Amino acid sequence: MQSPPLHQARKRFGQNFLNDQGIIRRIVRSVAPLEHQRVLEIGPGQGAITESILASGCQLDVIELDRDLIPILEAKFGGEANFRIHQGDALKFDITALAAGERLRVVGNLPYNISTPLIFHLLTAHNCITDMHFMLQKEVVDRLAAQPGSKTYGRLGIMAQYYCEVESLFDVPPEAFTPRPKVQSAIVRLTPYETPPCPANNVDTLQTVLRSAFNQRRKTLRNTLKGVIDSEAIESLGIDSGLRPEQLGLAEYVAIANAVDSNSE
């Protein structure tokens, strides 16, 4: 195996490389890849998790934005028959095309600066994903798993929970990385449902309702949603229009979105 060139973490890519072997083993045990499975790793960096995932014998595709990391990854893993690398932006990557009718398992230490839009992008491909294991800023994991009434509850968590079962697995301290980030990290598992527990007639309408509701989360629903649905229609669903956005559950937001769709027909 060749000695890979050295690489300095780049702030503009939000790079923080995981180097704690105990944490790496714990992540891979949580993912538990199997030989017959296909895995996509987003942002492999210098291959800290990549090596252990490859050792399972699974077919591993990795996508890396930083061109300077490609030679490092090629030097380490290029000779492995079950390894394939894609240089590009995960936000623009066609997950469905890669899956080609199969199911992918997705893992990644996601850059904090793109984690939210990237999760929304992946949720659009939920039909071809078995599960997702991500290292994220702990604040983002808290938002993904948040329940009604929580300060961290909002559009990201509701949409993640619409498509997936969300499990916060464990925290990862800053000293597990080089360079050390200024924030705490955590591992989350997202497992897409075969059928959403509260199916919306139109997911785009649900997104519109959530954006409007949480755009001014300190105001009541009758005020935040007045451009989308009137308070009488909200009340007709058995929902108090005087509540604040964080007080409603997923099922109630789906009911509002479905009512908006019905009223527009």
Pair 237, 256: CB distance under 8 Å: yes
Q: Helix axis angle, 138-145 relative to 115-123, nearest 10°?
A: 40
- Tell me the C-alpha distance between 150 and 138, whole Å: 15
240 is in an annotated binding site: no
Please tell me whether 201 is known to bind a ligand.
no
Could you write out the DSSP letters of every residue in 80-134?
A: -TTEEEEES-GGG--HHHHHTTS-EEEEEE--TTTHHHHHHHHHTTGGGEEEEEE
Chain CA centroid to CA 85, Å: 21
- Residue 223 counted as an annotated binding residue: no
Tell me the three state secondary structure of residue 254.
Answer: helix
Residue 22: how many other CB atoms lie within 10 Å: 8
One-character DSSP codes across 203-214: HHHHHHHHHHHH
Q: For residue 60, say whether it is annotated as part of any ligand binding site.
A: no
Question: Do you find a cis peptide bond into 192, omega within 30 degrees of 0?
Answer: no
The answer to whether the annotation marks 113 as part of a ligand binding site is no
Residue 109 marked in a binding site: yes
Q: Which residue positions form the known binding site?
A: 16, 18, 43, 64, 89, 109
Q: Which residue positions form the known binding site for S-adenosyl-L-methionine?
A: 16, 18, 43, 64, 89, 109
